[in-house]
Structure 1
Amino acid sequence: MRRAKTIALQRKDGDHTKQYTHLRSYIDELLKANSCSTIKLDIEPCANPNLKTRQFRRIYVCYAALVKGFKLLGRELLGLDVEAECTDSWKWFLDILGDDLDLPHDANFTFISDRQKGLIQAVESVFPRAEHRFCCRHIHENLRQTWRGDLYKGLFYRAASATSVPYFNMAMEEIKKTNLDMFLWLSEIPAARWSRSHFSGRAKSDMLLNNLCESFNKQLVGARDKPIITCLEYIREYLTMRIVIVKKMQATARGPLTPQATKAWDEIQTEESKLTVMMVDEVTYQVKSLRSQCVVNVEDRTCTCRRWDLTAYWLDTWKKVYNHQIRPIPGTDMWAPSKCPTIITPPKHHTQIGRPKKSRKKALGEKKKLAASKKRKMNIEEVQEVFSAGGRLTRLGHEKSCGRCGGYGHNIRTCREPSQP
């Protein structure tokens, strides 16, 4: 049965070893269809230059359509998230990326990541003046190992979402009064890494979570175990479809703002009745609410709360970003043979013990939501979706909750919540 499955997958996705021999031809076809794109093929060092084979090490692909759109966006913000990478690999990647985006060594760029140690060192080495944010979700996952519960979560995110230093100091003071150890733990992480109050504002984004990378990686789970060319084609096709989907959303959008920004603007207008506005001169206004008072300059588009400094959501800019397309390539039988005399061979691979895991490791909060969703009866469409995604159904409707905290995935014996007196 396993042998038959292997043969079927090989016919469907291609041969792992054989695809490396056609990798150079595939690269030539990509560059022919997408001119000005950047593709870097890195091979393992070889002591014998007379060998006709070279071992694959890594590959970098950056489509010109995406680079043009990114530069038109005007936001100097980029999310980074790759598992099991070393500092050397990150430096290699960031050096090429800097050339593609025209970033000098002293660029004031902004990155957001999940606090990978090798990545932190690489960013500091390649872009020493860059602003490097940490994903707040991952900080909270580390924090909740010691301080669990909605109380501590609310205190943390109140400090992270504060847009000005005074508000941040007030939030940190509240944490200090609640739990001194948690305050000291958070104080060891520079506030410029995780709180909006200390963001420079150059990136025009108040993003606290690395959701862009997380959602992108989730879409590429099905390509991880594919042969190299099949994997790269899977990514290219997904990017192409994403551009088409966004264009359809843009066609239905109305007004000067993006749909999400329009929704946020409507919420602001609802709260407008609670504000008191006093004109100072032609460009300066005092805006007062029940809890705070801010000074707004409509000419410079600034406010002492700093919310304007951190956001920008124009529909026209959004359309320009997605105005370029990634061009497809013909089938394998139409590729021209590569003129390079050496042949690429697969990289070194050590087979791990046990069945390889495809799904990423979920946090405890995600497990609770998944368990809660399983308590209700699924309809036939949802069951088919689970099976098509490679999942399985387990004791639907019989998930038991913890008798102490009411959570899922554990019982009273393993519960970390303190017992009620």
Structure 2
Amino acid sequence: MGGCGTIYCEEIRRSNPGSIVVLNTLVDKASVQPKFRRLYIFLVAVKSGFVRGCRKIVGVDGCHLKGEYDGQLLIAVGVDPNNAMYPMAWCVVENENKYTWTWFITLLKLDVNITQDNEHEWTFINDRQKASHVPLFHDEMEDTKKEDPEAYEWLAKIAPRHWSRSHIKDTVKCDMVSNNLCEAFNRAILEARDKPIIEMLEWIRCYLSKRMVFRREWIAKRSDELLPNCYTKLETLKDWSASSSTIWFGDLQF
């Protein structure tokens, strides 16, 4: 796929100026030809929409390719103003490990301009977040220690703020603590994952293009001040708060 991959990347850049496409190859010793290794894509229209309208919250996940070629598809999904999924960037890699994830996340950080000065504003979500508060986290860790000491030692070496929602910083004003958006995207592209790599990438690009047009036309027809998912959540909170009591504590304190 080396030569075809290069042509595909150039066509993406030509037809979508400003898009980021990074192709990583290895030289095959037998044929002395470039051999496909990894490919990262972040379309300019997708990036523009994310920067202008989405929160600084990103879900990341990986899934197996099901076709003739082995590999993994790594994805990054944002949250749009309606609290729905906003697919951002995707990357085909040889397998899922520390090095391929580092490659993917490093490119993603450059594209959305995550720096040491602003990284505290960002939250990344993956599948390792279960204990909802600190006492429960400690109880679960003690149970893990009894059940599997090696697993406990492995987890203990990782700062809890990186993987447990009990330690997520409260500066993130979003109650999304699962990675369901990535799961939804994986289901949406299930049909594409058994195709050859370039055909799969084109399927994903076309899917996103049609999705963006549909949602743009949908939002243009609405005149509400709040989007549907946000309105539903607000109404639910209103119903829930009706059973609460308020006690005045002077001035504007309650």
Fold in common (TM above 0.5):
yes
User: Hey, what does 2:47 align to over in structure 1?
Assistant: 67
Match of 1:91 in 2: 102
For the 8 Å contact 1:112–1:210, the answer to whether it is kept is yes
- The answer to whether 1:194 aligns with 2:164 is yes
Asked if 2 retains the 8 angstrom alpha-carbon contact of 1:75 and 1:204, the reply is: no
User: Which whole-Å CA distance do the structure 1 matches of 2:225 and 2:146 have between them?
Assistant: 44
- Percent of aligned positions with the same letter in both sequences? 28
Distance 1:183 1:264 in 2: 38
- What do residues 252-285 of structure 1 show as CA deviations (whole Å, max 9, x unaligned)? 5453322111111112222333233345566x43
Q: Which amino acid is 1:92 matched to?
A: W
Other structure's SS at 1:212 match: helix
1:250–1:212 CA distance, 2 compared to 1 (3 A) = same
Corresponding residue of 1:29? 11
Q: Distance in 2 between matches of 1:183 and 1:88?
A: 28
1:275 aligns with 2:244: yes
TM-score, normalised to structure 1, is 0.44
Structure-2 separation of matches of 1:74 and 1:224? 27
Task: Name the counterpart of 2:176.
Answer: 207
Given candidates 228, 241, 246, the residue that maps to 1:259 is: 228
Contact 1:40 1:61 in 2 (8 A): yes
Q: SS of the residue aligned with 2:253?
A: strand
CA distance change for structure 1 residues 135 and 218 in 2, over 3 Å: closer, same or farther?
farther
Question: Contact between 2:51 and 2:112, CA under 8 Å: does it hold in 1?
Answer: yes
Task: Give the 3 Å change call, closer, same or farther, for CA 69–279 of structure 1 in structure 2.
Answer: farther
Indicate the residue corresponding to 2:143 in structure 1: 181
1:83-113 CA distances to partner (integer Å, 9 max, x unpaired)? 4412111121122111111112562232111
Q: In 2, distance between residues paired with 1:264 and 1:67?
A: 27
Aligned amino acid, residue 32 of structure 1: R
- 1:191 deviates by 5.4
Deviation at 1:30, TM superposition (A): 1.4
* Matched residue, 1:335: none
- Code of the aligned partner of 1:89: T
Distance (Å, rounded) in 2 between the aligned partners of 1:32 and 1:269: 50
Matches within 5 A, 1:14-413: 21-45=3-27, 51=32, 53-73=33-53, 75-83=55-63, 84-105=95-116, 107-108=119-120, 109-114=122-127, 134-136=128-130, 160=132, 169=135, 172=136, 181=143, 192=161, 193-195=163-165, 198-280=167-249, 284-286=252-254
Provide the aligned C-alpha RMSD in A: 3.4
Long gaps (5+) in structure 2:
64-94
Which whole-Å CA distance do the structure 1 matches of 2:99 and 2:224 have between them? 46
TM-score, length-normalised on structure 2? 0.69
Aligned with 1:81: secondary structure? strand
Alpha carbons of 1:191 and 1:23: their partners in 2 closer, same or farther (altered >3 Å)?
A: closer
Shift of 1:233: 0.7
Q: For 1:182-240, what per-residue CA distance to the aligned partner results, in whole angstroms no more than 9, with x for missing partners?
A: 7977x967654333x53214443221211111111112222222122211110001111
Question: Does the 8 A contact of 2:5 with 2:36 survive in 1?
Answer: no
8 Å Cα contact 1:253/1:259 also seen in 2: no
Change (3 A) 1:246 1:266: same
AA at the equivalent of 2:143: D
- Structure with greater strand share of residues: 2
Q: Distance in 2 between matches of 1:272 and 1:218?
A: 35
The one-letter code of the counterpart of 2:124 is F
Letter in 2 for 1:285: Q
Give SS of 2:195's match.
Answer: coil
8 A contact 1:37–1:64 mirrored in 2: yes
Find the aligned partners of 2:42 and 2:96 in 1 and give their Cα distance: 19
Aligned residues: 212
Amino acid at match of 1:258: L
Contact in 2 for aligned 1:43/1:55 (Cα 8 Å): yes
